[in-house]
Amino acid sequence: MKALFRKLAWLTHRRDKEAELRAELEFHLGEESEERMSEGWSPAEARLEARRELGNMTRVAEETRAAWGWTLAEQFAQDLRYALRNMASNKTFSALAILSLTLGIGANTAIFSFMDSILLRSLPVDHPERLVILSFWTKENEVHGMNMHDDSFLPAKTGYGDSVFSYPAFAMIQSNNRIFSDVFGYQGAGDLHFAAGDRAEIARTEYVTGNYFQALGVPPAAGRLIVHDDDRAGAGPVAVISYALSQRRFGSVENATGKSVHINQHPFTVIGVTPPHFFGADPAMAPDVYIPIHSILTLAGEGFARQSFTDANTEWIVTMARLRPGVSRAQAQDVLAPQLAQWMRTVNIARNRADLPRLIIRDGGAGLNGVRYQYSRPLLILLVLVGLILILACANIANLLLARATARRREIAVRLGIGAGRSRLVRQLLTESVVLASAGGAMGILFAIWGIRFLTALIGNGQENFTLHADLNWHVLAATAGLAIATGLLFGLTPALQATRGDLLPALKESRTSGGLARGSGTGKLSRGLLVLQMALSLVILVAAGLFVRTLNKLESIQLGFNRENVLTFSLNATQAGYRDAEVFDFYGKLRDRFAGVPGVRGASLSDIRLVGGRMFTGVSVSGDEPRASLVVSVGPDFLSTMQIPLRLGRELEQLDMTHSHISAMVNQEFVKRRMGGQNPLGQFVSFGSAACAKCSAEIVGVSGNAMVGRDVTDEFRPVVYVPYTMNVWGGLRDMYYELRTAGDPMSLAGKVRELVREADPRLPVSDMQTQRSVIDGTMNREVIFARLCTGFAVLALLIACVGLYGSMSYNVARRTGEIGIRMALGAPRRTVIWMVLGEVLLLASVGLAIGIPAALMGSKLVKSFLYQTEPHDPLTMAVAAASLLVAAILAGYLPARSAAKIDPISALRHE
């Protein structure tokens, strides 16, 4: 420590030190010559002899200075200056290398950080590894559920799966406390009207069982969380709010506790706040408000409230459990599955006896996360692609540095020749590489931060409440940066390593005539190998991009059976304003009439789901036959004409059908074909398996063309029954979607719509307003992301590969100036010179293609499941990819080729 201070003190007195040293040596000389003069020498001779004795004064001074211990730092500063000067004088090289590093490090970190937040992170709760999700699957879906039909855990098309259970089933599982220490559940309550004081907003709300928080092991940030006693009929209405909502509405967690609020006009007391990092058992939902599930008795429509706690056919509780210590998931499943099957047989359940739900206990440590399953495989594919880009970037850096190394061989040899120490030289080259790598690394971090934001926006595409919390993952950043920088260092040292190998003379004698990507030399082979690798990898990425773009095109051209253009849709929930039963229908109906009268609106209707936006199944029987699963859509008047679904037979549901006591219904052609054997359906009756509407039946008055009712555009056309919304087939009076067919741009009516709703009831918020087209595009989100990202990657890959090609070829040409000069002097036409360079480029590209095409054919099989009506070996895609690669390679090679052709033979030869 003391030594350090002394050194620092010296550093500040640097100039004085130099003067002192000179004075000290001067004094020595004086003493020495005086001594000699006293021995009888003449003053001049004495002085000269003293000088001789002292030796080289500069060297003495230099060595003495070395003793001060600052040489290393001084040399470093020198190296740094030299490195910066070098970078500045090779702007293109530096820019290309830094760009490669930035892209490699940044893109990888961004994608991986995203994967980490979606796939790898556990719930921020106590012992997440012991949490499980209870799910089931059946061959056919027959009972209507309330959930989003999350069957992502099943292999594709092997049946129906879900994670919701009826309350009686939930209670049965809960009673089994031998394997589980806790069984808890929740269900989204939707976006509810949340009013505190005089301010109201829409808050995402979740029903949770009384033991939810205790079972998850989540501590409150303030107040207390919901406990068992809060969750029973007749308990005081309590709510727990999220940390974010407490900050937003009340300023602090303490302020929020104890506040009275209104949820859908019902009074609740806020008893506590969840911790900041808790986003619910399904992180993709991220509720703002948690209320006990028994609140459903007050909040839901009467029909649903009545049946929700007693009916074994109403499946709605997402069920999770915590395993007892020492019990494995498989053991739990072995114990519980037969018990559940046995229980199902004892209750009167409206399911096919041969196809009762089979229990599946899944890992719940990461929560039930729809987003997780939806994006896990796509992200893996993206990760592979980005990994390829990282390899490309590293290969590029290696190549650029190799090319420069070759170009600098002479410089290095000269420096070694005039006595530069080898270690000193290595240190200097290392400094250059470190400077380059640090610049690239810093840019990479910035790019990663930007990339995460960009990805969040891309994946969240239009979703208002998208709640994926991706943070920059420093481990990944360190790993990718480490890899890229190590590459830089390794190849940055090549000139030094080459120089230390063998003697200097050949390199010194080497003039600009020889060399290039020195044929046959180790460096040349390595460099060409890297270029070929880049070409091959780029082709693979190009093919992937091509396949995804084709898939997106196919998806966009699917016939949906209705006109998706010029339709404005939005959602309303009249129950939020306190309307009940018949008032709700009345309100919806009158509002529709007002919309229909707006200038620019050509048709208006409403429905409980949006076409290509959701689906609700229930068992439907025709003329009393065995009920089978069908899609049921509740619609308002003029639904077919508004959506432009063709009417095939009979008539469509009109205004009168909404209020008539004799219920009419429409079916689609698929229903007629599959359920009625193609017979005339008009006048036949359908009845519904829904518990709320067990006795309802409706007469078929019309047949529509097939229109897509499903989760996305690739869903098949299934049997559909359209019923009047006033029939309230599900029992729960819920939000409705309005559809307005417009003459022009649908969004231009948004203001008018809000105004009309405000006039009708100022308490009611309009939510989820978008065009029917954007609803459909939303279901293709994944494909859109794939197509966009992969196209981006492909451009990136091509760019990086071309940069490498361009860099190497430019160096090559620069080094062969002499040779080319001689050729031209001997009569080679410019065209030949151009072809000489382009020929090399084409050769490299062709070898790259020869390797890349088989690799792409193998690789594309991995993405087969993401393709729609596109073969993995799609010849058109392959051809376009190969052609783009060749064109890009020729473009990258043309500039150096042209500069080669511009070489003036005379000046080139004089240069020798």
DSSP 8-state class, residue 749:
G
State in angstroms the smallest separation of the CB of 64 from another protein.
Answer: 5
Cα separation of 9 and 744, whole Å? 79
Residue entry with tokens 């067919």 = 741
Closest distance of CB 221 from another protein, Å: 57
Q: How far is the CB of 793 from another protein (least distance, A)?
A: 56
Q: Is 34 or 586 the residue whose CB approaches another protein more closely?
A: 34
Sign of the CA dihedral running 797, 802, 807, 808: positive
In the complex, the smallest distance separating the C-beta of residue 425 from another protein, rounded to whole angstroms, is 24
Instruction: Rank residues 71 and 655 by Cβ distance to another protein and give the closer one.
Output: 71
Q: How far is the CB of 42 from another protein (least distance, A)?
A: 15
- Alpha-carbon gap, residue 440 to 484, rounded angstroms: 9
Q: Residue 62 Cβ, how far from another protein at the closest point, in Å?
A: 9
DSSP secondary structure of 780-830: THHHHHHHHHHHHHHHHHHHHHHHHHHHHHHHHHHHTHHHHHHHHHTT--H
Residues 6+ apart with CB under 8 A from 106: 443, 444, 445, 446, 447, 448, 450, 451
DSSP string, 323-365: EPTT--HHHHHHHHHHHHHHHHHHS---S-GGGPPEEEEEE-T
Residue carrying structure tokens 């048709």: 603
- The tokens describing 529, both together, are 């190998």
Least distance in angstroms from the C-beta of 27 to another protein: 5
Residue 358 Cα to chain centre, angstroms:
33
Binding region for another protein (CB under 8 A): 2-3, 6-7, 20-21, 23-25, 27-28, 30-32, 34, 53-56, 59-60, 63-69
17 vs 594 by CB, closer to another protein:
17
Alpha carbon distance 494, 506 (integer Å): 17
The residue among 1 and 233 lying less far from another protein, judged by its C-beta, is 1
Dihedral sign of CA atoms 782, 788, 791, 795 in order: negative
Nearest distance in Å: CB 28, another protein: 5
d(CA 532, CA 218): 55
Give every CB contact of residue 352 below 8 A, 6+ residues apart in sequence.
140, 142
Query: Nearest approach, Cβ of 107 to another protein (angstroms)?
Result: 49
Question: Smaller CB distance to another protein: residue 25 or 227?
Answer: 25
User: Residue 15 Cβ, how far from another protein at the closest point, in Å?
Assistant: 16
Q: Are the CB atoms for 882 and 794 separated by under 8 Å? A: no
Nearer Cβ to another protein (3/330) = 3
Whose Cβ is closer to another protein: residue 23's or residue 694's?
23
Side chain identity at residue 258, one-letter code: G
CA distance 299 to 296: 5
Q: Based on CB atoms, which residue is closest to another protein, 49 or 761?
A: 49
Nearest distance from residue 12's CB to another protein, in Å?
Answer: 16
The first and second tokens of residue 367, run together, are 């929560």
- Residue where the block lists tokens 């003391």: 2
Which CB sits closer to another protein, 2 or 831?
Answer: 2
CA distance 530 to 801: 10
Dihedral of CA 87/91/97/102: which sign?
Answer: positive
Q: Which residue has the tokens 């040779």?
A: 819
Q: Toward another protein, which CB reaches closer, 22 or 519?
A: 22
Q: Give dist(CA 335, CA 330) in Å, integer.
A: 9
Task: Find the shortest distance in angstroms from Cβ 75 to another protein.
Answer: 17
CB-nearer residue toward another protein: 53 or 759: 53
Give the residue with the Cβ less far from another protein, 63 or 464. 63
